[in-house]
A and B are shown apart, each in its own frame.
Chain A
Amino acid sequence: MRISNWGNYPVVDADVLRPGSDSEAAGLVRNNPSLIARGQGRCYGDSSLHASCMLGTERLDRMLSFDDDMGLLTAESGLTLREIINVFVPRGWFVPVTPGTAHISLGGAVAADVHGKNHHAAGSFARHVEWIDILTAEKGVVRCSTTNEPELFRATCGGHGLTGIILRVALRLCRIPSAWIKQTTVKAANLAEIMESFEEYSAAPFSVAWIDCLQKGGALGRSILMFGDFCPRGELPGNENPLLLKQRRLFAVPFNAPSLALTPVSVKAFNAFYYARFPKGKNHSLVPYTGFFYPLDALLHWNRIYGKRGFIQYQFVLPVEASAKGLPAVLRRIANAGLGSFLAVLKLFGKQESAPGNMSFPVKGYTLALDFPISRNLFPLLDELDRIVLDHGGRHYLSKDARLSAKIFAQSYGKTLEDFLAVKSKWDPENKFTSSQAMRLRIRV
């Protein structure tokens, strides 16, 4: 079967086997010399691809227990954040950290140690995980946490499935007063302004900026900062149930768009339109959480707008002190190439707790995520960007990556990678758990 992840690039022709229980999963791990777990296929590149065998977790999607006092949810790893939200938002609970789509599995959220708009306040996903049951190559199912087998726990969070098959996760949900977000938008005319705004509004628990990456000169980095928090009950108008939203209307992109649909001209037009849509200065509004956190989930199969050839999402982080220099260098290079995307997102990460063995992506600093349709000119451009990122002490997000070189990866992750491999060698000395990405980046014992 031809399988690709969200970026539709690369594509592998391989089997996805879907166990329905621990013992079936153990059988698959025993009988296959090498494999990787795959959830919803919402990483963009090849983190969860394997040339011959993938273990799909879709059928492992049961909620096992919920503690109403602590908000502790235990569930199988194939359960999606979407399902969790659908069940728990009406009861006043929300996932503690969420990326821009809810169509990801719990196992994937742990394996990528995903971050969200609240990284500066809440850290990444792993901080809210109480424990993980992981099926290892050598020692069967192991329950690991910050206190039990902490090395394995830290390596599994952000380990992209390379330590074993995540079977169950205990996640601490957080209380919300309503399903509505008090949102503020701030228009920034250039990069300096947006960076200032991020600092100024760092008290808001959720924040992110859309950035127009085709601007040059004085308008380089013009953006719109969006921040907010869940709206307290008392501040909501009307007296409908504050935790219930009307069913959202979903649209679907019916087929792959022709590759001509996304040109620098159409992207430029879109960006101008999008920027103009927001009034000047600071604006407040009340929006449903769905639109605030998951604007694109309303458009099913939106990846098809990039055509059959697919796209690359390029995400990196630069340390705070290097950002003022590094970000303009990257943006200038992109604007000059004219290859910018309309889904460019800028965010200021907060402090990230890290311990040896943990390969999670975030570090305190600015992260920029950009979409590029695949074209002949793209790969040389990205190679150049890699150098700029590396020169400024930054690194790349593996969940988005499909083409980074092993050399750049090893240089940017450095000691972090060595420590990770030291843990992997204890639990998976034969490299049973490997992916196309791990092969390419030589993340192996």
Chain B
Amino acid sequence: MPKLRDLAAVIKSKNAGPFMITFDVILKDRRSFDRVRPLFTEENICRWYPVPRERIVSIVPFPNACAIKFTLLRRVSSGDVGDTSLYGSQQHVNLFNVEVPDEQII
């Protein structure tokens, strides 16, 4: 099974304001987008990141850009006591090894 990192052109994390962290996945092509889009469910995100569902703010596919974005509430706000990444950077790596099921041959 390919990994998400094999099909994606961009996988990144960044602050969306001081209270949220947002994850962007941009696929290399439309076919890959269609293939991985069903994986982005609340249930799966909570498996990839050990967070309760209440911390998921949104999961939004953006077909025109072959992209999927999801956003989490931060445990602590940017720069507050206990924060580990002021800019929300370097939090994306849990997505690298997400396994993408093989395409169904119809």
Is B truly associated with A? no
Task: Give chain B's interface residues, CB within 8 Å of chain A.
Answer: none
Q: Which residues of A are at the interface with B, using a C-beta cutoff of 8 A?
A: none
